Amino acid sequence: MLPQKQAEEAIVPNVNETEHEGKEEDKESQSIFSVKNILWHGGSAWDAWFSCASNQVAQVLLTLPYSFSQLGMLSGILFQIFYGIMGSWTAYIISVLYIEYRSRKEKENVSFKNHVIQWFEVLDGLLGPYWKAIGLAFNCTFLLFGSVIQLIACASNIYYINDHLDKRTWTYIFGACCATTVFIPSFHNYRLWSFLGLGMTTYTAWYMAIAALVHGQVEGVQHSGPKKLVLYFTGATNILYTFGGHAVTVEIMHAMWKPQKFKYIYLMATLYVFTLTLPSATAVYWAFGDELLNHSNAFSLLPKSRFRDAAVILMLIHQFITFGFACTPLYFVWEKVIGMHDTKSICLRAIARLPVVIPIWFLAIIFPFFGPINSAVGALLVSFTVYIIPAMAHMLTYRKASARQNAAEKPPFFIPSWVGMYALNTFVVAWVLVVGFGFGGWASMTNFVRQVDTFGLFAKCYQCKGPPLPAMAPIAHH
């Protein structure tokens, strides 16, 4: 039996767990030397860790120095740590709700064979159709624009290697390349991609840090941030977006052979991501200072070299992978809408998925604003999808004493009471609603509208180098 079938038949804790684990171990040992399983069918805790870490940092790694120039060094570091911990908490909350939903359904003998559980279905099963509609709307819109951002980033990055084509033309090309993700069936099949993707971002992050330190500070460098509230909260919401990449948490958990092991995986992934984001953003901001305010992509300031070209190429490949991560849940939703989700033919499913890619492609051409669009998506979509809705859903799911008593997952060891859980969730909702959505929404949309006014929709080459100055006539000497 293939490991993905094991995942679909995996039972949550306290339901024949010992017997099931024994069978799994036997089957894993029998197929351990299968190349297909090693490269294609991932479902271990390590696979989930690689997926979470790889999915958290992609093109946003290149915009964090820009955020530091808006926030200042101290605020940039503190916001990264704060939102990293908060993001890990809400990822934990999502995992608890998934286990609760699945345990309830399996007690009713519901089978999930050939069916991938998604976040909106968890909300539907625990809280009803209204929550399902809210979760579906926010999640799909966030993933849609998350995919758009990857396309914009691809065009922005490749331009620094080959500027013979403008960024809009590169968007056309990479839109066609990323459309090939329709052939990847599910998150089981991202084992090799996740491993490679994390290696690519690790190289890029440390290249940025080392290149900035070797380059040294530019002449007359200034670190004047924060200067304006609009810029300050725009930078803060970009970091909110950075650590809010768990809109695909449920799909990653469902691809695991033992989903109950997910609890602290996202936190472990975040701790590793800190080793990439903090050194790179700090070093680049130290070197270039306020120049970053007009360069949202760090590649535009780092000196051209074969190491930079390698980083650009690796980030392009990783953005293709991240595009697939963001799009796959949208593919699942679309398949369920048109009744193709149970189809086993990869080619038939690929054809059915193509209509999802077309609007993403189109939106990337309309709004090619690398950097500002991250903050807008963070404030308006990530704030609800990743932080507010999960925290509120957890509080409502366990509002009754009977639900708390029969909970599949009890409060963690570091918060031994339900009162502490409610207090922490209330803080998350209040903070993100006021600071993330309120101030962040105002600032990011103000900045976004300025970009539209400056460059216009369908901008051919956003933040590209200007035309060369005309040659001056030689001065006659008498």
Q: Give residue-wise pLDDT tens across range 88-139.
A: 999 999 999 999 999 998 888 887 777 788 889 999 999 999 999 999 999 8
Q: How far apart are CA 41 and CA 372, in angstroms?
A: 37
- Residue closest to 460 by CA, chosen among 145, 175, 172, 149: 172
Do residues 39 and 192 make contact, with C-beta atoms less than 8 angstroms apart? yes
**Where along the chain do its domains lie?**
57-455
Measured CA angle at 381 (ends 454, 281), to 5 deg: 65
Longest dimension (CA), the chain: 100
Instruction: Please tell me the pTM assigned to this model.
Output: 0.80
Helix axes of 73-107 and 60-71: crossing angle, nearest 10 degrees: 130
What's the sign of the alpha-carbon dihedral 361, 365, 371, 374? negative
pLDDT by residue for the chain (478 residues), tens digit each? 444 444 444 334 443 433 344 444 444 444 444 555 555 556 788 888 988 888 887 778 888 999 999 999 999 999 999 999 999 999 999 999 999 999 998 888 887 777 788 889 999 999 999 999 999 999 888 888 888 888 887 887 788 787 777 777 888 888 888 888 888 776 666 677 778 888 999 999 999 999 999 999 999 899 987 888 888 998 888 898 888 776 678 888 888 888 888 888 999 999 999 999 999 999 999 999 999 988 888 888 999 899 999 998 998 888 888 888 888 888 888 888 888 877 878 888 888 898 988 888 888 888 776 667 777 887 888 899 999 999 999 999 999 999 999 999 999 988 889 999 999 999 999 999 999 999 988 988 887 788 766 665 666 666 566 443 333 334 344 3
Architecture of domain 57-455: Up-down Bundle (1.20)
Q: How far apart are CA 197 and CA 410, in angstroms?
A: 34
